[in-house]
Amino acid sequence: VLAQVSTFAPEESKRPGHVARLSMLGQVLEAWHWLDGRGLLAFWPAGKDMPIRSMLKRVCDPAWWRRVLRRAHAQAVESTARAIGLVSKRAGCYASDEACKRRAGQVARNARSLASVEAVNADTGQAYTLADLASRGTANKEIRRSELMTRIAGFELIARDCGHVAAMATMTCPARMHAVRTRPGRTFEVEENPTWDGTRPDEAQRYLAKTWARFRAAADRRGLDLYGFRIAEPNHDGTPHWHAILFFPAVVKSGAAGLDCLLSMLRRYFLADSPDERGADAHRVKVEAIDWARGSAAGYVAKYIAKNIDGAHIERDLYGNEAPAASQRVEAWATTWRIRQFQQIGGAPVGIWRELRRLNTEQAAAAPAVGLMLDAVNVVSNAGELHSDAVKLHTA
């Protein structure tokens, strides 16, 4: 590296610190090559603007290497478990038993650590353990589930006010990404998928994300202004699929029906890979229109959210497993493969929503805009009603 850079840019060699900078760069490139040769580049911190010094500190930090190797080891073990048939509805549904044990141990260690550390407010003298503080936020599964349902319900209110329509879409991966398949005509029997190409769940997730990005770009060009939520959850063999609750205009700019446009574009992009395989046309893309007269949009996704968080209010999953136990296996699957389960589509950033939810109805008197914001995020009074001033301002 020193020789090549000095040859192509001899003037650089006269600057102070030139040799030290190039030496540091050479060490980073050597570490990068080492990671690439062992398939560990996926664990490199994301971000194109990361300074070289920060990158070098990471590769010199034993704690960083320990995290990287633990993650690589967990995924290698889980990949092997999928390959030998230990992840399926007839063995370990969603994730292997080993992955579930590892995740349970991690949760227990984290709980002990949070309970052992106490934070004290120097002004008021109040003291709380980190476990107490965590239980008051989205780390609490009940709060997390309630927040997601509230945000979806808010999107539904916006859609109704704007005259938009809603649909529930499901997108699955091609058959070649599934390690195990159900035997034809035998719902509860499984067998090795002969067409599986070794795709891992995180790679399948990236395929879905990339395909979705192409679809979103095309949808924006067509004037299909989508907003809503998407939920990633595993098939019984750990291969991810997506459910999405989507809101959009009833008619797009071209005059076509929004629902027809959504279905045709989803099929165009999510059936581009292996479109002729058996069952692709019937199962790879499904879109169900939501009838406001029959129920709320939030009701359509309630079971998916509960299943992927804590299993509350549902008894069993699709494969007959008890919901609380199934949700723990889903959590083990998501943490092992580092898959983001819930993602908002469109709308304001969730950080703004959360900060506004901290306000109370008494603060609405500060300014008319505060009242409108309280109404927008559904902050209610002790009586369970929206602040009256906010409602009057909104109506006016």
State whether residue 322 is helix, strand or coil. Answer: strand
Would you say 327 and 309 are in contact if contact means Cβ atoms under 8 Å apart? yes
| Token code pair at residue 68 | 């990287």
Would you say 240 and 339 are in contact if contact means Cβ atoms under 8 Å apart? yes
Task: Give whole-number Cα distances, 130 to 103, 108, 122, 138, 357, in Å.
Answer: 20, 14, 16, 13, 22
Give the active site residue among 128, 207, 227, 304: 304
Identify any residues that bridge with 128 across adjacent strands, giving them in sequence order. 119
Give the active site residue among 227, 269, 300, 319: 300
| Token code pair at residue 155 | 């999107």
Question: For the sheet containing 227-234, what is the strand order?
Answer: 285-289, 165-171, 240-248, 227-234, 342-345
Report residue 105: phi and psi, to 5°. -65, -40
Cα 93–98–102 angle (5° rounding)?
115
Closest CA to 99 of 324, 337, 308: 337
Give the contacts of 211 (CB within 8 A, at least 6 positions apart). Answer: 171, 269, 270, 272, 273
| Token code pair at residue 261 | 């446009």
* Residue 300 falls in the annotated catalytic set: yes
Q: How far apart are CA 270 and CA 128, in angstroms?
A: 49
- Which residue matches tokens 């034993």? 62
Residues recognised as catalytic? 300, 304
